[in-house]
A and B are shown apart, each in its own frame.
Chain A
Amino acid sequence: MTLLRIDSATFGYPGRPVLKDVTLEVQPGEVVALIGPNGAGKSTLLRAASGMLRPSTGRILVEGDEIASLTCRERARRIAVVPQAAHVPEAFEVLETARLGRTAYLGWLGRESEEDEAAVRDAMRRTQTQGLESRRLGELSGGERQLVLIARALAQKARCLLLDEPTAHLDLRHETTILKLINQLAHEDGLGVLIALHDLNLAARHADRVALLARGRLRGLGPPDQALTEETLSEAYDVPVKIFRDPSTGSPVIFAASR
């Protein structure tokens, strides 16, 4: 079943339309990368996809149901979000933060069951954050904090995962760790992943499909080597773009050519 279906949706903020007529699907087991220049609407699209922003026209369906018709709990069981440059309360500890991923499963007394604890442990193991358990969020590096937020999202056990630039400001090792994990989650665990990425090369290398947003519309959608062409990228980013093939892997290497 299609995990997430954005169906000719138009959305934006009061007095500021951001994206028009976007149609996009995320299937189980695939990583779809959202790319586009700053301000193109990647975060906005993810906010709409997580039910934070209602489209003015069109529909957003989660596992077949209109997102606005789901309760908050039900929505959080189907879609988990790792926000961009998220605000975190610095005094909170890592384990407690990961446990908040179970919010949508707790009864009214708020006690964690064995199943909840297992989900949290599993999420922390996957993100290799067990060693950080009792550290405060304010005392983590940016990369570690990002991993904790991913752990929290994984604890939600949702089948659809939305991530907003999870690798921004991260070093090469953390970047690789996170993208590898995301690929595993999609290809081995069958999650559907929609991820906003700044770095075109990362998108080209790690996504099954890319969606290019620019100037208020979806400008390209498909496997990286088809959707990412010099012509579309030059136009979208308004700068001449060159693409080479990496001789060892065959994946595209994209950079801005100086004029």
Chain B
Amino acid sequence: MNRSRAPYTWLVLALTCALGASLGLGSEWVSPVDLARLVLQAIGLESVDPTLEQDRIILWSLRMPRAALMALVGASLGSSGAAYQGLLRNPLADPYLIGVAPGAALGAAIAIVFLGPTTTLGYMTVPACAFVGALVTVAVVYRMARVGNSTPVTTLILAGVAVGAFASAATSFVMLLREDQIGRVIYFLWGGFGLGGWQPVLALSPYVCAAVGTLILFARPLNALQFGDEQASQLGLDVERLKLVLIAAATLAAAAAVALTGIIGFVGLIVPHVLRVLAGPDHRRLIPFSALGGATLLLMADTLQRSLPILSRTPVGVVTAVLGAPLFLVLLRRNQKANW
């Protein structure tokens, strides 16, 4: 494949800029110079300047954990989208197509409606239930899609759509059981609970590292799978085990993200799609690229949402769609070459 390193450089640069913007912008402006000084002070390379005390608190207890959370969620969604698209050989596949989102939503709705959380600990059960809902849904989809002892891509997608529709219907049903809770359910689905601080970051990072690491390790077999199940098997891959590992890792990444920040659409769809056009179909590049690109896109969307007053009540998932969809359409129209 095109082995140039240039895309890495550009993506890291873009991520750095997005991170800088995310840390500097917001209701309170922190200049890049102050940002750099605060970082130097934190690692002890400069003596602590007491006049920056307020900025220090903003940076380390508000913006940094927020940025880290967004970057982790974006990286999860981007890389799992790339993996699903490769696995299902379908450009429309994303973490939601095979039931992750509807399953997570159902789990969350059940928790909110039936457990009626009021304490912080109670709220923490919602992401956990969303997570379980996603995993259960994907497991059901996978079981239903099996024909004999193989799992053809078409049945997997069909089962995903069918089970997803069922889960959505079930979610509506659960919401209507307790009309007074509808608002809370919708609020969660649109952006999680806006949990702050380092705790959600710490909770999310082991899942993300494990899942994205697994996807990167299995990128080369995923390349072979692009030739179809039979050729991949004849090349020496245990195709069924490979699919299971990839589905599990991609679902883990996406479900962990949904559990903490609600449903953020479009990132898992657009980022791998755009990068496939720009950097080719090799998953050894596509998956890490999509992780970097997803982190960048979500940081940008989040920064925009926090800094523009008119967006102050808009969920970040809506911002990602507004940012991503036009870009996606432009690329779709401009690019006539096969990217698969």
For chain B, give the interface size range: 20 to 34
CB pair A76–B230 under 8 Å, yes or no, is no
CB-contact partner of B227 in A50, A100, A156, under 8 A: A100
Scan A85-128; emit 1 where CB is below 8 A from any B CB, else 0. 01111111100100011011010111000000000000000000
Scan B205-220; emit 1 where CB is below 8 A from any A CB, else 0. 0000000000001011
Tell me the chain B residues, 224-238 only, with Cβ under 8 Å from chain A. 224, 226-228, 230-231, 233-238
CB pair A52–B226 under 8 Å, yes or no, is no
Find the A residue at minimum CB distance from B282: A96
Knowing A52-B233, A101-B235, say if A89 contacts B1 (CB, 8 Å).
no
Scan B291-333; emit 1 where CB is below 8 A from any A CB, else 0. 0000000000000000000000000000000000000000000
CB pair B234–A76 under 8 Å, yes or no, is yes
Chain A residues near B238: list those with CB within 8 A.
Answer: 71-72
Cα distance A218–B340 in the bound complex, in angstroms: 40
CB pair B226–A156 under 8 Å, yes or no, is no
CB pair A90–B235 under 8 Å, yes or no, is no
Knowing A89-B226, A103-B224, say if A138 contacts B338 (CB, 8 Å).
yes
Nearest CB in chain B: distance from A184 CB, A: 22
CB pair A75–B339 under 8 Å, yes or no, is no
CB pair B217–A108 under 8 Å, yes or no, is yes
CB pair B235–A76 under 8 Å, yes or no, is yes
Nearest CB in chain B: distance from A124 CB, A: 16
A223 within 8 A of B: no
Nearest CB in chain B: distance from A30 CB, A: 21
Knowing A90-B338, A90-B340, A93-B1, say if A103 contacts B236 (CB, 8 Å).
yes
CB pair A96–B234 under 8 Å, yes or no, is no
CB pair B234–A91 under 8 Å, yes or no, is no
A147 within 8 A of B: no
B200 within 8 A of A: no
Nearest CB in chain B: distance from A153 CB, A: 9
Chain A residues near B220: list those with CB within 8 A.
Answer: 103, 106, 110
B125 within 8 A of A: no
CB pair A104–B227 under 8 Å, yes or no, is no
A83 within 8 A of B: yes
A254 within 8 A of B: no
A77 within 8 A of B: yes
CB-contact partner of B234 in A71, A80, A90, A93, under 8 A: A80
CB pair A91–B223 under 8 Å, yes or no, is no
A81 within 8 A of B: yes
A169 within 8 A of B: no
Find the B residue at minimum CB distance from A101: B235
CB pair B236–A89 under 8 Å, yes or no, is no
B26 within 8 A of A: no
A73 within 8 A of B: yes
Cα distance A113–B4 in the bound complex, in angstroms: 21
CB pair A72–B217 under 8 Å, yes or no, is no
CB pair A72–B237 under 8 Å, yes or no, is yes
CB pair A109–B221 under 8 Å, yes or no, is no
B334 within 8 A of A: no
CB pair A77–B236 under 8 Å, yes or no, is yes
Knowing A103-B236, A104-B235, say if A91 contacts B280 (CB, 8 Å).
yes
Chain B residues near A92: list those with CB within 8 A.
Answer: 1, 223, 226, 281
Nearest CB in chain A: distance from B122 CB, A: 42
Given contact pairs A52-B234, A156-B236, a sample of 12 additional A-B residue pairs in the complex whose CB atoms are under 8 Å apart: A47-B230, A77-B236, A83-B230, A86-B227, A86-B228, A87-B231, A89-B226, A91-B338, A96-B1, A100-B235, A101-B235, A104-B236
B-side residues, CB < 8 A to A, are 1-2, 89, 217, 219-221, 223-224, 226-228, 230-231, 233-239, 276, 280-282, 284, 337-340
- Please list 30 pairs of residues, one from A and one from B, whose beta carbons are closer than 8 Å in the complex, sorted by A's number: A50-B234, A52-B234, A72-B233, A76-B236, A80-B234, A83-B231, A87-B228, A88-B227, A89-B89, A91-B276, A91-B281, A91-B337, A91-B338, A91-B339, A91-B340, A92-B226, A93-B1, A96-B1, A100-B224, A100-B235, A103-B221, A104-B235, A106-B220, A109-B217, A110-B219, A110-B221, A110-B284, A138-B338, A152-B235, A156-B236
